[in-house]
Structure 1
Amino acid sequence: MKPSPHYDFSISVRCQTREEEPEVAALYQGIFDVILNHTVSVMFVPEFEINSQSWPPMLLENVDDISTELEARLVTVALSRYTVTPNSLLAGKEKIIHYDDSNSSPLRVIFFVTPEDFNIFSMELSMFAEQIPSLHDSRKVSETQNFNFIQFILARIITSNYFAEKDLQILRRTRVYSRYKLLEQV
């Protein structure tokens, strides 16, 4: 049966090490994919240094040639529409990545959190992934609202001006506009 949009959408969590080939799986340690309503993916990626070599995150010439944790993290961010990562200096901010000047390429949005918050999210994600090991298993958002990572997704990601309208429709949500300025852009 094909999943359909529900306001009380489903959530599943995949540990990225389980999704990769065994010879490189360890490089993806700590990366989690949170899937909303079987469709919208939010990647949680451990910290990486933002410098001229790592920013903006770009795809390698051959994404099958990943040989370091840093490359695994950067490729994950480069491929992800929505990413959550820790950074003490940028916590609470969003950073938009534009890969070309055309409007055909979707925006990539990185949501920065404190390292402490990310540690809490990581523990919860690990526990959640263990409780729901199958790709097709999920929980409803109403059953999981006590998790900090879920509260973050609901409060910061799906309310972001950069959360795509089509993704809101998949979650049966509507954009709430405010007369107040949203989070400061990096």
Structure 2
Amino acid sequence: MQTLEETPLRLAGVIRESIVDGPGIRMVVFAQGCPHRCKGCHNPETHDPAGGYGSTVGNLLREAKKNPLLKGLTLSGGDPFFQAEGFARLAKAAHEAGYDIITYTGYTFEELLAGFETHEGWEALLRETDILVDGKFVLEERSLSLQFRGSRNQRVIDVPASLEAGKAIEREWEEKYAL
């Protein structure tokens, strides 16, 4: 198995401090590559899997540890499930370092569960996610009043509770992840 220093990720970018991608001060890691190509996507430059630049899990974790104010990491994109194995390693290492993990994906929770057998790393990444914001961005459902999501169809899911229940358990941000 590769070390964290050797585990590659293709990135569109990193924001070292954000307060708009989940509660608290967060490091946001934007995955390069997205199969969804949602109309009106906020980050269309992330769609092409050949775009962006290379980095490693170890490099990202080192950067996160430089900031004692970080509450967690937000995995966005693109779609982190497009590179699920590498992002699962990042999420696991970040958890071990005391950070919480929010993952954004165009897949629904149910699609991810159904894909465990056919998509390497999906289960591992989902299990290392605390909160999942799922579903494609739908331009006709866009709302600027939603907290930390772009369209009304997207759900905020408590992943540990959902995996235990075997179905999506939605939560409001304030219930478990308030500042």
TM-score with structure 1 length normalisation? 0.28
Look at both structures and tell me which one has the larger radius of gyration over its CA atoms. 1
Which one has the bigger strand percentage? 2
TM-score with structure 2 length normalisation? 0.29
